[in-house]
A and B are shown apart, each in its own frame.
Chain A
Amino acid sequence: MNRILLLLLPCVLLAQIPDPVGSGGASSAVTVAALPTAATAVVGLIYRWTGATSINSCPAAGAAGSGGSAVALCVTHDGTAWQAVIEGGTDGSVTIGSTLSAGKVQTKLPETGLLADYQLLEGAGTTVADSSGNAAAGTFLAGANAPTWLSGGGVRCGASAVSGISLPSSVNVWRTFMAAVYPTTVAVTAPTNQPTRQTVMYATPSSAIGIYSPGIAHPNFANYYGMSIVRGSNGIVFDRSDTLTVGPHILTWQLGSASDSTLDTMYADGVPASTYTSAQGTSAGLTDAGVTWQLCGGTGNASNFFNGKIYRAAMWSGFLTATQVAAATEAMRLDLRQQGVGLASAQNTSSTPQLIAVGDSITSAGTGGTPYTSQLTGLVGTWTITNFGVNGEHIDGMIGQAPDREDLKWSPVAAQNVIIFLGGANDTGGAVYTDAQLASRVCVYAQQRRARGYRGKLLVGTNLSKTGAESHREALNTYIRRQWQGCGWDGVADFAEDPNLGADGAYANTTYFNVDGLHPKTAGYALMGAIAARSVNAAFSSVSATEPTLVTGTTYTILDADLFTRIDSTANNVTVTLPTCIGTSFRRSIKRADASANAVTVAAAGSELIDGSASITIAARGSVLLAPIADVPATAGCHWEAVP
């Protein structure tokens, strides 16, 4: 609210100033009256001065009359247009202002320690201006190695094999680097034994600041990237953050130093990385004199050039605090928005049905094999399939990623959306949650999707056999089977009901599982895919109690989507066969409409049972509601039971 007030204040202010447009903007004296006292503490003294229209900058923050740590407000005229500026605190650490120039509002980044600010607005030429006032202009590499300008601001890096912007040595002392980036692709050849890396900033021979792909061996590498700081000439030592969904982000890399007890730190969109996949180092020494930093990256040091767009970049000599990083991130985001660069990923508007798989390495098949989302045998319809599986992901990580990932990936205009959630393999038996608490977190995932407006189907998966964790994952599965309806799920993709996947010790069967006792092989994923497909088919059943599937022939195999079946046996005996009960939570309503002397039989598939028998009969004008019931977790399997 404070910021909103501050943004509105100039309206009041400017109402008292003759509009320079049409006056040539050069002759009238300016008197800025004190504004009415605002009911907010951060607005302190408002500047009051008279002078010519050629004032080009605000009085220095903290100068006499600026009002202690309060916000200072001034107007300036650059000879062409009026500008209104709201400066930050006296230490200059936070600037939450805006400058009006030719109809464009710009934000200002924190000034303390600001070494360079490349707004990348030139649009032509080979020089990149520095708007920090430090004359730290950058220069395009020559010829084919030059990046290309983007209309509206920014540069495209990586169009050629190596493209870069050489920066002056005055920036070498940087310890905080922030850039708004949009990788075109993170799928480039990985250096030997290393995850793929692209460098947003690079200095020969020992420093690479950039992003990394989870690795080309990861089937979902195209959906994610993380941040990295590489130190050491062989590129082996590096910090990596947790992963982000592919798309535009404002990223901040900070070089830690033992001198002030800081560690290498990374932020995505102003939020500090929650985990690091390697020990955080202290890389400040890598900004030594004698190196030349290059924006857009470079090759070598086990890294590659950056392949994508950079909209703005800035660096500071200091190690900004988390609050400062957040403020600077918002300032940069606001500025880019004025340029028409939307850094928030947009809601999917595809009309094609969306099938989204969320989970960990069981979903991604991150350790090898073909993921189940590529083996959805029997899936009805044409879908856009997105696999958001992340190796090593925990349930809280899935909840945390969802607002910026699947909540944007589903399409409000598509007729069908489904999210298949499978989590827990990295949580069960852990120290963070009990089995009941873990089940509650699974529940929250669905509840939150509903509260955030998701209107598609939600299916929750059950956890597979896992070495050393059978009792815990079985407990979690039991909670899921009991609670799914109350949590907002539409059904269960009960993978664990398949004895080959879910029976105690199934993990030891190397036909379906890897020797790690956790991850399925392609054959195991195929079983999962068939279960997922059946569940999706049933979830999108187009029949209803009033418009059931009508059966009049002698035999019929009930389809996944036949949740309501109406049998007319007037002309002959009828036998319908249920689909397998494995993996589904959807009940089947079967109604016999006639009172003829013919027999109506409902048979289970294969060796499955219905109330203990291979088949049941339905009396004249009778009906039955059959529910798939999971057998005991230790053996897995299922059967059908008639329920009220």
Chain B
Amino acid sequence: MKRIFCLLALILAAGLSLRADEYTLSDTEVLSGTATAITIQQTASVNTNVKVVGVYVYCSVACTVTLERSGTAATTTLTAPVATSPGYAATTLTGYINSNVGAGTVVGQAGGYPVAAGSYLALRFLGADGSSSVNLRRGAADNFTVKVAAISGTAKLLIDYRQEAN
């Protein structure tokens, strides 16, 4: 019985589906030999589960996209993420475009992802079971950033994430 219960508890722990509200942070930049980045940042005092659903990056010219987490906190340029559904509560995360986030830990492909001119990169991290391979730490000013290395052209960036109610 103990084993059964523990197994069930583990199953529940893994599969428990809390209410998850979804948000996007997006930006379009026309770059002239410069780089850009967007960041979603957890508020240290808020204990919420944040799962990155996926990212989208378009570049009009060939570019390299890097994903990083846990960089030195961003402070500019503050831009509010948008709730996917009007019924969702306001997100407790802050968003930054043209982010000044510091270097963090690279997520995914070392060296970044090359994107051909006029093409896009789309990565989904959310699994069918509702878990994500990219999560922000609870109760810490953790962050996740999508960076586009310096180019002369247009870049469109989007981060889609879920925030679970406590």
Binding site for B on A (CB under 8 A): 1-4, 7-8, 10-11, 14-15, 17, 19-21, 81-82, 84, 98, 100, 103, 105, 269-275, 323, 326, 329-330, 333-334, 337, 344, 347, 396-397, 399-403, 440, 443-444, 447-448, 450-453, 485-488
Residues from chain A with Cβ under 8 Å of B82 in the complex: 444
Which A residue's beta carbon lies closest to that of B127? A453
Residues from chain B with Cβ under 8 Å of A15 in the complex: 2
Which A residue's beta carbon lies closest to that of B88? A271
B122 contacts A450, C-beta separation under 8 Å = yes
Q: Which of the residues A1, A100, A326, A486 comes within 8 Å of B138, measured between beta carbons?
A: A1
11 A-B pairs, CB-CB below 8 angstroms? A8-B10, A11-B10, A274-B86, A334-B17, A337-B17, A400-B87, A443-B26, A444-B24, A451-B122, A453-B126, A486-B154
Q: How far is the CB of A69 from chain B (nearest CB, A)?
A: 14
Q: How far is the CB of A626 from chain B (nearest CB, A)?
A: 18
Is B144 an interface residue when CB atoms closer than 8 A count as contact?
Answer: no
List the 8 closest pairs (A to B, CB-CB), nearest first: A451-B54, A400-B85, A453-B124, A450-B122, A274-B86, A11-B6, A274-B87, A4-B13
CA distance A504 to B136 in the complex (A): 50
Is B9 an interface residue when CB atoms closer than 8 A count as contact?
Answer: yes
Binding site for A on B (CB under 8 A): 1-2, 4-6, 8-10, 12-13, 15-19, 21-22, 24, 26, 28, 47, 49, 53-56, 58, 60, 82-88, 118, 120, 122-124, 126, 128, 138, 154, 156, 158-160, 165-166
B128 contacts A347, C-beta separation under 8 Å = yes
Residues from chain A with Cβ under 8 Å of B8 in the complex: 100, 103, 105
Residues from chain A with Cβ under 8 Å of B10 in the complex: 8, 11
Residues from chain B with Cβ under 8 Å of A269 in the complex: 19
A271 contacts B12, C-beta separation under 8 Å = no
CA distance A267 to B156 in the complex (A): 35
Residues from chain A with Cβ under 8 Å of B86 in the complex: 274-275, 396-397, 400
Q: Which of A8, A105, A450 has most chain B Cβ within 10 Å?
A: A450
- Known pairs A10-B5, A103-B8, A447-B24. 13 more at Cβ < 8 A? A2-B166, A7-B16, A11-B6, A14-B5, A271-B87, A275-B86, A337-B17, A443-B28, A444-B26, A444-B158, A451-B24, A451-B54, A451-B123
B128 contacts A329, C-beta separation under 8 Å = no
A487 contacts B156, C-beta separation under 8 Å = yes
CA distance A485 to B115 in the complex (A): 14
CA distance A1 to B42 in the complex (A): 15
Residues from chain B with Cβ under 8 Å of A82 in the complex: 1, 5
Assuming the contacts A7-B16, A270-B19, A450-B120, asked whether A488 and B88 have C-beta atoms less than 8 A apart, the reply is: no
